Structure 1
């Protein structure tokens, strides 16, 4: 039996795409092995969101070549899309396939097996207008199912290379989304996470359809317990989306709404499509529609031209938003973006100081949010055994994205458990099992 090994860098969309590519290899009779083992084919799904992503991708490609010089080395993903010639220049690379035409990967692999000639299968992504259908009926080692509904982005923020690696906005056909959702529920999944490059833009390219309509259609899928949106822009939280949040009992009380900066001058330079006032108003409306909602966000620190005064103003704005968690990143120059050419770059030491200050703020807000639920019984779907000092613990997430660790055996993984929160903490809270609502996911039985 031929073997294949995967290594995925970057975002949830890349992980979804890797799972989809694995399905094709599995269909051809391949066995999946660990990336550190000897395999007949290595697939490296790359990231290019930062220059560091490019570097790490090259490192993993070379590691695979060293592991088995006779193996077929296939490189896909965002870095492959933007820099195919650079990757093919690495001795030992056989296939570069980018972020489209992944459904042809087995044809290319079989061709390389017979001819052993490198193939550059990358086309101009900006000309692509169709969503690439890549089904994933099951996820290895996961109790939450990811469902990719959208590809590409039309925003062209000044710090971001992604439109050039993923192309323009393309939505998946609603019938295809619902069909896969039913397939995932039939496989035993309790929670589906809707994901994409610009998830909240779903439906903008479909006549008389929208994200809100998709959410209502998913709400009707029998057996589905939770619907979670992986990320949504403030500008895409329409009145119709707010109505779904207020009315559907399947929508998770958690939204990830990227802010990026808490100062209007910086937001303008980033080419973001909102002001802090508009963002704050949307957050207020979300809280009204869905009380006790957890709102997480992304923050870029030290964007070119961000003065101490701008940072301080942003800090106060973030405090006022009462996020349940912030993912904080120092600004990193990405070659090829307008922001990388800006002359007023911020000193790395200054960036690091600001990053630590915001991480401290995030931890305080995370603890404050979790403390509100101490003593309450919440539904948790355990994802794995907890690795710590104590044995006999499992961990999982509530619908409002509180990570809870509680005593329990591994046969609880994938089940919906009622857990009383007994102690709040940063990153994880402690709970005690009250009862079990649902049977385990079929794939885990």
Structure 2
């Protein structure tokens, strides 16, 4: 097997960051990454099983790779589908040689060694009770200015619809000291935008007992060179008022909170095992609305959960009217393997689910159109991410995680990717802002450096 690899990643930011860890580990083991699977000796598929038909998509993709099996290539399935399906993957796709869940990536060097020795059925499937995390010993950062830090892995909430506790295992938190060491090293290398990750990031509990989650946010935000700190995804049950207070008090903490609600009905929330009520959630919204800063709120929602009545769905509509989210990610309920909801009677026809999803998205679009209008005339700081040459615009993102497209006629040169500058908003759209570089804007340029491979040990 040639020591080249190709990796394809599906799913959330956690999966994307897991792939950065896998890439770094493989490169440390002497492998070279290629961008074409036809050139790779090892093909890895990092999977997600949150949404419906994830397993079918995996095997469809593997079937596409099958045409390459006669060329001496090895195949590996990683991530949530690997953990969920386990050795059944070998039965469905016999040309796969390695199946590994995310909790076993710490053993990847040993598994690769066995693969090189000719073994054809290697598994890394951990019990969900493992206390070990895959700390970032070797990580390739795919973005030279923005980086992720996983502070907690797994989930103990066991929501009725969610497969994560069964594929990611129990909650395991890293110490505050290890998180801060990684954040400082990233800052020293020129990373200015840091995002703390976890399935329930605010459920993080410092094993050393030194810091609360809010204190950790403040500590990361106080590191010299770091200009923005984000965190995702939070759980309402563990969302405390001091998180809002930390954002108010620390300018480097981004004024954006993603807090999934899933439903506006307490009855549905109870059936989902979400461990909070509509009133509990709205109290947390009142803390955010009462903050000194204008904090953007986004959320996740599920329509058509078993037993959801028209009245329950209407409560979700009234909830978004009350909260006025800047955006939501809404999905139709689909039963996932191993979850309690798979045993519930899915009595709501798909046509009804589709109609509810349409109504929800239409109403949210109206809210966004109205709510984004508050930014008209404001000057916002934008981190430059690229250029839209067709429109002669620069594209970036605000502290509220909103896309901003702007012109730069007031500047002598187009600001480089990774720089920050002030932009005056001249137009608002439902999903983005449009503006002009402020005439007095002087771009903040991050520290320039070349390494894209970061060794953190």
| TM-score, structure 1 as length reference | 0.94
Contact 1:233/1:257 (CA < 8 Å) preserved in 2?
A: yes
Matched residues in 2 for 1:96 and 1:253: separation?
40
Of 413, 418, 423, the match for 1:414: 418
Pairing 1:438–2:444 present:
yes
CA 1:442 to 1:28, structure 2 compared with 1: closer, same or farther past 3 Å? Answer: farther
- Which deviations, in whole Å up to 9, do the C-alpha atoms of 1:175-197 show, x marking residues without a partner? 11111111222222221111111
Matched residues in 2 for 1:371 and 1:444: separation?
40
Pairing 1:106–2:109 present:
yes
Matched residues in 2 for 1:160 and 1:386: separation?
38
Per the TM alignment, residue 153 of structure 1 is displaced from its structure 2 partner at its CA by: 0.6
Q: Spell out the pairing of 1:15-94 with structure 2 (5 A cutoff).
A: 15-69=16-70, 70-89=72-91, 90-94=93-97
Of 316, 332, 357, the match for 2:318: 316
Matched residues in 2 for 1:307 and 1:416: separation?
47
Number of the residue aligned with 2:215: 213
Contact 1:190/1:225 (CA < 8 Å) preserved in 2?
A: yes
RMSD (Å), alpha carbons: 2.0
Per the TM alignment, residue 78 of structure 1 is displaced from its structure 2 partner at its CA by: 0.9
Q: Secondary structure at the match of 1:413?
A: coil
Matched residues in 1 for 2:322 and 2:405: separation?
29
Q: Spell out the pairing of 1:284-323 with structure 2 (5 A cutoff).
A: 284-323=286-325
Contact 2:159/2:272 (CA < 8 Å) preserved in 1?
A: yes
Q: Spell out the pairing of 1:45-444 with structure 2 (5 A cutoff).
A: 45-69=46-70, 70-89=72-91, 90-124=93-127, 126-135=128-137, 138-141=140-143, 143-203=145-205, 206-386=208-388, 389-390=390-391, 392-407=392-407, 412-434=416-438, 435-440=441-446, 442=448
Contact 1:295/1:323 (CA < 8 Å) preserved in 2?
A: yes
Number of the residue aligned with 2:455: none
Per the TM alignment, residue 278 of structure 1 is displaced from its structure 2 partner at its CA by: 1.1
For structure 2, list consecutive stretches of 5 or more residues without a partner in the other structure: 452-457
Contact 1:283/1:321 (CA < 8 Å) preserved in 2?
A: yes
Matched residues in 2 for 1:381 and 1:420: separation?
14
Q: Secondary structure at the match of 1:127?
A: coil
Matched residues in 1 for 2:432 and 2:144: separation?
19
- Matched residue pairs, number? 442
Per the TM alignment, residue 66 of structure 1 is displaced from its structure 2 partner at its CA by: 2.4
Per the TM alignment, residue 118 of structure 1 is displaced from its structure 2 partner at its CA by: 1.9
Matched residues in 2 for 1:308 and 1:73: separation?
47
Contact 1:137/1:184 (CA < 8 Å) preserved in 2?
A: no
Q: Secondary structure at the match of 1:115?
A: coil
- Which deviations, in whole Å up to 9, do the C-alpha atoms of 1:238-274 show, x marking residues without a partner? 1322321221111111000000000110000001121
Pairing 1:8–2:4 present:
no
- Which deviations, in whole Å up to 9, do the C-alpha atoms of 1:95-116 show, x marking residues without a partner? 1111222122233223222224
For structure 1, list consecutive stretches of 5 or more residues without a partner in the other structure: none
Contact 1:411/1:440 (CA < 8 Å) preserved in 2?
A: no
Matched residues in 2 for 1:146 and 1:367: separation?
31
Per the TM alignment, residue 136 of structure 1 is displaced from its structure 2 partner at its CA by: 6.0
Using the TM superposition, name which of 51-60 and 398-407 deviates more. Answer: 51-60
Matched residues in 2 for 1:202 and 1:35: separation?
38
Matched residues in 2 for 1:95 and 1:288: separation?
51
Contact 2:18/2:102 (CA < 8 Å) preserved in 1?
A: no
Per the TM alignment, residue 360 of structure 1 is displaced from its structure 2 partner at its CA by: 1.3
CA 1:185 to 1:138, structure 2 compared with 1: closer, same or farther past 3 Å? Answer: farther
